[in-house]
Every structure is written in C-alpha cells, then in structure tokens.
Chain A
Amino acid sequence: MESPVFLLFCLAVGYLMYWTVRNEKLDPNGGYEGWFGIKKPKPNNDSAETARNNPFRKLPNEP
C-alpha cells in the first residue's frame, strides 16, 4: 500500500512542474487551470474604494 502512495506523490510533483511551466507560458496569474487550478478572485466592485485603500496611492497634490 505504501508504494502506490509514494508513487502518487512523486507523480504529483512531476505534474506540478508541468502545471507551473504551462501556466507561465499562458498567464503567470493562473491562466491554465489543470488539477491545481486556482479559484478566480472576486472582482473589486468599488474601484474608487480600492484606490483609496492602496497604501502606495499618491495624493492629488503630490508630484
């Protein structure tokens, strides 16, 4: 029983490598889903609020 589990984890690492390379080619933010696909993030409904909350925002009078 141990060997199939070992093999499964070894294969999963190989697939992870493939998944990473494939994603990098398509979109480094997770364009290719595959087994390790990431849930799509929720959009920002209020872009003004989002901009206000950005700690790196520049105030209107700043250069």
Chain B
Amino acid sequence: MRSLALLTLFMIYLPPVILQPFCGILLWTWFSIMNPHRLVWGMGSSLPYAMLIALTTIGAWLVSNESKSPPRSMITICLIGLMVTASISTFTALSPVAAFDKWDSVMKTLIMSVLTLTLLTNKIRIYAFIWVLVLSLGYFGVKGGAFVIVTAGAYLVFGPENTMITDNNHLAVALIMAIPLMYYLYLHSKLLWVRVGLIGMLVLSLAAAVMSYSRGGLLAMLVMGVIIWWRSPKKLGLTVLIVVLTSSVLIYAPEKWFNRMNTISTYEEDTSAMGRIDIWKAGLNIVKERPFFGGGFRATYRQDIIDRYAPGTESRAIHNSHLEVLIENGVFAFIFHLILIGATWSYGSRIRRMTLRRPDMAWARDLASMLQTSLAGYVAGGAFLSLGYYDGWYDLTIAMGALHILVVRQLTQETTVPSVDMNAMAPPQAAVYGR
C-alpha cells in the first residue's frame, strides 16, 4: 500500500520538475535525507528514484533561464575541491574496487550539492529547502519519539535500512542537526497549527535523539545547548527549560541508558570506544604512508589493509567524520573539509553581524544562528561517527552559502539603488521646492 502510494506520488511530483528545476532539488533532498524508497517494500523500493530525479533536474536546469554557473563562494570551491581529491584518491586507493561504490554515491551527493547552491537564489527557495530538510528528518523524529514514549525508552531507535542514518548513533546526530532548524521554522512560521506541529516534532525528535543511546549524540546535544544558552537573550527561562528537560531524562530514562552514558568517563574499559581509538591509530598509519590522497574510501573496512598498517587491529568504520575524510582521501580533502566547516561558521557570523540592527532581516539572522548551531552539533557529534560525507551536513553548508550570497546581494543593492533614485529625483525636486 505504501509502495503504491509512493509510486503514485512520485509520478505526480516528477513532471513539474521539467518546468521548475528547483522542485527537482526539493525532491532530491527529500529522497537523499528521508529515503522514502527505503521505507517501502516491493515494486516501489526498486525504482532508480535518485537517477530519475537527478537527470530530470539537470536536464530542466540546462534548458531553463536559471544561472548556469555556480556562485562564487568558498563553499563552491570546497565542494569542487572535495570532488577532485575524492576522485584521485579513489583511482589511487588501496582497494579501488571497494572504494568505487562509495565514490559513486559521494560524487552524486557533491554534484547535486553544487547544483542546489546554484539554484538557491531567493528567500522562498532557501525557506523551502529548510522545510524539506526538517520534514525529511522530522519523520524519523516523530516516529522515533513516539516509539520511545510508548516503550519507555527500552529499545534503540534506528533509521531506514541501507542509508547513512541506519545506525542509531547516526540517526541521533542527524536529528540533533535538524532540531535548531525546526526551532527556526517555529519562530518564523505564521500559522499557529504549523507552529504547534513544529514544537511537537521538535520535542519528539529530542526524545528520539536522547533515547538513541548515542554517546556522540549526547555530547553533540551538550555542545549545541551551550551555544544556544550563550546566545539566548532569555538565559533564565532557558536555564529553567534545560533543568526541566534534564530532570525528565533523569527520571524516565531506563537504567541501561545510564549504564551506556557512564561509559563516556570510563572509555578505557569500553571495547567499543577503545576499538575506535585503535582504528584511528591504524588509519593515521595509512595517512603517514599515503599523505596526499589517503587509503581510499572504505580502506579501514578491509582486514587485509588494516593488517598491513596496524597488525592486531580489527577492521571497522573509522567513527570520526573528520578523520574519515583525512584517512580515506588524504590531506588535501581534509583541508577542504576543514575550510568548509570554517567557511560555513564564518559566513554565519558575518550574516549575524550584517543583520544585527535589521528587524526586516531577522529571518536571515535567525537562520544563520540556527545553521551555526546545527553545524556545531555535526562537528561535535561527527567526531564519534562516520558521517564525513553525509548529505545533511552538505545541506547545512549549502543553505549557509546561499544565505550569505543573498544577504550580501541585498545589502549591496540597498547602497546603490537609493542613491541612483535620489540622483534621478534631484533636479525636479529642486525645481519644485527651490523656487
């Protein structure tokens, strides 16, 4: 039934993309983040949705009046830099066959990210893009949060199978990244029932993230909480809210949740945590020998490769998004990754500064603040998970890059347009009032 519904809706949603390529971006983001095709069975799960959407969007964009060149931005440079370094690293990989599958998926993500940045040209598109991100992740927040409440947090919450967020830890960080965006939409949405719905989604997503038993997720939440508290003009109210939420967790969380979280301070005794440190050491040995382009995608998943660089260590995921880029794709990709984080943060700070005393641009200032908060969640949570090439992370950078371009353009126009008008008006006004 769900399969049929998805197929029908897809048939309805795809044709408008031909006339409006930005709709293709919304569809692409929905499929890449929510993965609705992984939530159905039968015929509806096997269609090559991503390829159909990408081809239709790119074709429609080529024949449309939309700009054909990506905007000049540090975000664009870094995304293209990552494409180049990831490609070279795949062809020089320790195991090119193992690396190719992930390269294929990463390239699709990066190419569509550049196209998204090119097409995010106005306020309504940026707003719609944030909405599609929130809806795509909010689905798992609502479903997971309801499940957590019904089962009193006794079971883990997982994402859809065969996706970047299948793992409970990955899902937790993705939800944490979406929470500030939910709050942003709550702040700026006009209809009351939409705002109530967003707050409900936010609370359920928070419950799902906390009860995912993810230690990385908990640390990400702490970092984001500190940023929100630090920037909030209503610190007392926020402190009360944090105390109430923390107390609720302390009262309702089951004992095994506490046992899991307590291992943060005793990580030396935890095999999972020590295994991560061992694989980081093994990966860094690969980087020492192959600094420029790393070991290639999925190098640390192969036991024969790990045995060469760190005998006795078990092959596994790197469990650190930033080291993942360094170990798999080398120093150049790592530099692009770091610049991407730095540029996203600094664009946010610049937007906040530029719109400080501009109530008419509060929408941009609030969005920059919330995107920065989500970024902090990704950087902190990603330090314990393999989300180096997660679509949701690129979507944050794209939204910030597009917002920065829009704000700068608007402020620049304001300085030129009025002066032109005033010059044009000067002679007749002088004629009327001067004589």
Contact = CB atoms under 8 A, between A and B. Distances in A.
Contacts of B359: 41-45
Contacts of B191: 33, 35, 37
Given A6-B36, A9-B34, A10-B6, A28 B131 contact: no
B354 A39 contact: no
Contacts of B34: 9
A28 B253 CA distance: 46
Interface string B129-144: 0011001101100110
A44 B39 CA distance: 47
Contact of A44 (B128, B139, B360): B360
Contacts of A42: 359-360, 362
A28 B122 contact: yes
B5 A10 contact: yes
Contacts of B431: none
Interface string B12-54: 1100100010110011001000101001000000000000000
Contacts of B136: 9, 13
Interface string A1-39: 011011101111110110111011000111001011111
A55 B138 contact: no
A61 interface: no
A56 B127 contact: no
A50 B362 CA distance: 13
B415 A56 contact: yes
Contacts of A12: 135
A38 B2 contact: no
B188 A13 contact: no
B288 interface: no
A54 B194 contact: no
Contacts of B20: 20-21, 24
B98 to A, nearest CB: 34
Contact of B124 (A5, A29, A53): A29
Contacts, number: 131
B135 A16 contact: yes
Nearest to A7: B5
A37 to B, nearest CB: 4
B356 interface: yes
A53 B353 CA distance: 10
A6 B9 CA distance: 12
B421 interface: no
Nearest to B10: A10
B357 A10 contact: no
Nearest to A55: B354
A38 B358 contact: no
Contacts of B309: none
Given A29-B124, A36-B128, A43-B359, A21 B139 contact: no
Nearest to A19: B128
Contacts of A24: 20, 22, 122, 124-125
Contacts of B354: 54-55
Nearest to A41: B360
Contacts of B127: 30, 36, 38
Nearest to B24: A17
A61 to B, nearest CB: 14
A36 B189 contact: yes
Nearest to B194: A35
A2 to B, nearest CB: 7
Nearest to A25: B20
Nearest to B6: A10
A54 B190 contact: no
Contacts of A23: 124
A32 to B, nearest CB: 9
Interface of A: 2-3, 5-7, 9-14, 16-17, 19-21, 23-24, 28-30, 33, 35-45, 49-51, 53-58
Given A21-B23, A38-B127, A57-B415, 7 more contacts: A6-B39, A10-B6, A20-B20, A36-B127, A36-B131, A37-B191, A50-B358
Interface of B: 1-2, 5-6, 9, 12-13, 16, 20, 22-23, 26-27, 30, 34, 36, 39, 122-125, 127-128, 131-132, 135-136, 138-139, 142-143, 188-191, 194, 353-354, 356-363, 408, 411-412, 414-415, 418-419
6 contacts: A9-B139, A10-B36, A13-B135, A39-B189, A41-B359, A50-B357
